[in-house]
Amino acid sequence: MTTILLARHGQASFGQENYDQLSELGSIQARLLGKHYANTQRRIDAIFTGSLSRQRDSARYFWETYHPSIVASGEVPILDIETPDSYVLPIFDEFNHKDVFMKSDPIFTSQAAVAAELAKADAPKIRLAELFDRAMQRWHGGDYDDDYVESWPQFNVRAQQALEQIRTQITHLNHLGDDSTVLVFTSGGVIAAITAKLLQQGSQTAYQLNKSLVNTGVTAITVPDQIPRLLSLNEYSHLFGDGKRFISWR
C-alpha cells in the first residue's frame, strides 16, 4: 500500500519583501524532519517538491540531514538535487498569495500602499496577519472569483490534479514497490485543499485547515485499491525536541 506524505515547507519570510525564502527557523525545521525520519528509520522511497524556493529548499535541507543514513545503509539515493527535472513538480506550487492579498481591498494598489497601511498599526506584523486573514476569507468566499489570477475553485482543481499527478508519477518509478512511501514538499493551501476533498468538505473547511497547518507538518495519505484515504493530518512531533520553540504557522 503506497503512502504519500505531504509536508508543508519550513517557515518562510512572512512580512518581508520576498516571502518565498526560508527563514533561519524554516531551515532548522526541515532539518529536524530529516533527522527525525533518519533516527526513527522512516523509509522514504522518493521525494518530490513544488517549484517555489521555500519548497525546494525545504526538500534540500531535509535531504542533507536524512540522506547520510540512507548512504550508510547501502540504499540507492532517492533524490538528485542537481537534476530538478527529476523531482520538481510545479503543480504543487502554492496559490498566488500576493494577488489574493492585493485584490482584497481597493486601497492596496501597490506595495507602498500596503506599507502605508501597516505603518499606522502599533503592531505591524499582527496587523498584516489580520489583513491577510481577511483577504483569504474573500478569496474562499466565492463572490469575487473573477478578480483573481487563480480563483479558489481553479486552485482547488489544480490541487486535486496534483494528487493525481503524484500517483501517476509513482507508477513510473521502477524502484517503488507496493509498500512505498513518497514525500512531497508543498504548501499549506495545497495540503488543505487535498485534505478537505478527502474529507468530502468544501472551501470553508479548507480555509480552516490551512490556518492550522504547522511548518513542516506532515499529512499522510494512503492509496489502497487506488482510492486515496487520509491517514493522518499535520503531524509535527519532530519539532518537539527542544520544547515548542521550533513550532510556527507562518
Per DSSP, helices labelled H in 121-182 are 124-141, 152-171
Domain with CATH 3.40.50.1240 in the chain: 2-93+159-244
Q: pLDDT tens per residue, the chain (250 residues)? A: 889 999 999 999 866 667 799 999 999 999 999 999 999 988 898 999 999 999 999 999 999 999 876 665 556 567 777 888 889 999 999 999 999 999 999 988 888 888 888 888 888 888 988 999 999 999 999 999 999 999 999 999 999 999 999 988 887 776 676 788 999 999 999 999 999 999 999 999 999 999 999 999 999 999 877 789 999 999 999 998 766 789 998 7
50 contacts 186 by C-beta, under 8 angstroms:
yes
pLDDT of residue 71: 60
- What is the distance between the alpha carbons of residues 125 and 247, in angstroms, rounded to a whole number? 18
Instruction: Domain 2-93+159-244: give its CATH superfamily.
Output: Phosphoglycerate mutase-like (3.40.50.1240)
Model pLDDT, residue 84: 87
Burial class (CB in 10 A: 0-12, 13-18, 19+), 99: middle
